[in-house]
């Protein structure tokens, strides 16, 4: 009887801790989607995350808001991986057949998933709590599409074809993502469109990493700032630069009068670009 009573008390304690955590890390809706808001006194009261007491032995200088932002970053990395896998599938289609670009996005998908796994392991080492939300390609594309509208990269000038491929590989359909997408796919410059999409995604991911770094710095989390600087931010800068090179090269093949109407010069340039990319990726894999 006493054992049963103790179990009930333990259960009620866990429930109250979970409720307190929700109060500390509440979710609100705004123009950018779901964001976390925090009660700054939560970590002082020891009410950061569910089951915090069970991992208290490893948790040190790890605030509630850091945990929530890291989980958001994990989900963003997983969504990027899912999106890139969809793009890899698109370029493997018989009516597209660009194996070099297919290899690029397949590799990018694995890389983003590795980033997520790295952060999951890190959160567990710090005594955090990882929650995985459902992965939706359409939602990812919509968020990046909206972020690009206010971006200073110049990518907003090509909004008429932004995320059209994403719409094609997601259940919502092309017009659900971007009503300006041309319906006839034979007018698409798939390679250029895909790499502009990827550049928009990587810039968005980088912005979120910078926001996370600033929060970690403000809260005195030296370990996390060090990890972000050495394991993530440098790699993001290199990825953005590389994608910028690809976009510039493919844009040089595009007709001047209409950016979304392919001509024979673009198709030839895209084919040569794809063959070169395929060879370089194969060589990189061998090395």
pTM of the model: 0.79
54 within domain boundaries: no
| Count of domains forming the chain | 1
pLDDT digits (tens, 9 = 90+) for 246-274: 999 999 998 876 555 567 789 999 999 99
Candidate from 62-76, 169-183, 217-231 with smallest mean pLDDT: 169-183
263 within domain boundaries: yes
75 within domain boundaries: yes
3: left (phi over 0), alpha (psi -120 to 50) or beta: alpha
Q: What is the signed CA dihedral for 265, 270, 275, 280, rounded to 10 degrees?
A: 130
60 is in an annotated binding site: no
Which has more pLDDT, 156 or 285? 285
* Alpha-carbon distance values, 277 to 105, 108, 190, 249, 255 (Å): 12, 14, 15, 12, 22
pLDDT digits (tens, 9 = 90+) for 206-252: 999 999 999 999 999 999 999 999 999 999 999 999 999 999 999 99
202 is in an annotated binding site: yes
81 within domain boundaries: yes
111 is in an annotated binding site: no
- Give the DSSP letter of residue 26: E
Residue 68: give its domain's CATH number.
1.20.1260.10
48 within domain boundaries: no
46 within domain boundaries: no
217 within domain boundaries: yes
- With vertex at residue 66, the alpha carbon angle to CA 61 and CA 70, rounded to the nearest 5 degrees, is 130
- With vertex at residue 268, the alpha carbon angle to CA 264 and CA 271, rounded to the nearest 5 degrees, is 140
157 within domain boundaries: yes
pLDDT digits (tens, 9 = 90+) for 127-147: 888 878 777 777 888 888 777
The length of the chain in residues reads: 287
72 is in an annotated binding site: no
235 is in an annotated binding site: no
**Structural domain of residue 280, as residue ranges?**
64-286
Is the pLDDT assigned to residue 164 strictly greater than 80? Answer: yes
């Amino acid at each position: 009887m006493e054992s049963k009573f103790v179990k009930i008390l333990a259960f009620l304690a866990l429930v109250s801790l979970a409720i307190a955590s929700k109060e500390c890390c509440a979710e609100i809706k705004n123009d950018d989607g779901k964001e976390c808001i925090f009660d700054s006194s939560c970590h002082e009261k020891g009410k950061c995350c569910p089951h915090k007491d069970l991992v208290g032995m490893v948790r040190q200088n790890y605030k509630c808001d850091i945990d929530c932002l890291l989980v958001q970053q994990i989900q963003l990395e997983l969504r990027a991986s899912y999106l890139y896998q969809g793009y890899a599938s698109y370029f493997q289609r018989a009516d597209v057949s660009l194996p070099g670009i297919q290899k690029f996005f397949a590799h990018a998908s694995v890389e983003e998933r590795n980033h997520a796994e790295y952060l999951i392991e890190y959160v567990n080492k710090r005594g955090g709590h990882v929650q995985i939300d459902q992965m939706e390609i359409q939602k990812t594309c919509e968020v990046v599409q909206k972020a690009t509208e206010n971006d200073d990269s110049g990518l907003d000038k090509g909004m008429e074809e932004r995320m059209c491929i994403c719409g094609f590989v997601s259940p919502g359909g092309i017009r659900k993502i971007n009503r300006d997408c041309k319906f006839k796919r034979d007018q698409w410059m798939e390679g250029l469109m895909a790499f502009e999409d990827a550049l928009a995604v990587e810039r968005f991911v980088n912005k979120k990493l910078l926001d996370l770094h600033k929060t970690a710095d403000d809260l005195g989390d030296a370990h996390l700032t060090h990890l972000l600087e050495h394991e993530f931010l440098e790699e993001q800068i290199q990825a953005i630069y590389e994608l910028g090179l690809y976009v510039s090269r493919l844009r040089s093949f595009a007709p001047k009068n209409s950016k979304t109407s392919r001509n024979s010069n673009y198709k030839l340039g895209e084919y040569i670009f794809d063959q070169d990319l395929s060879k370089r990726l194969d060589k990189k894999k061998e090395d």
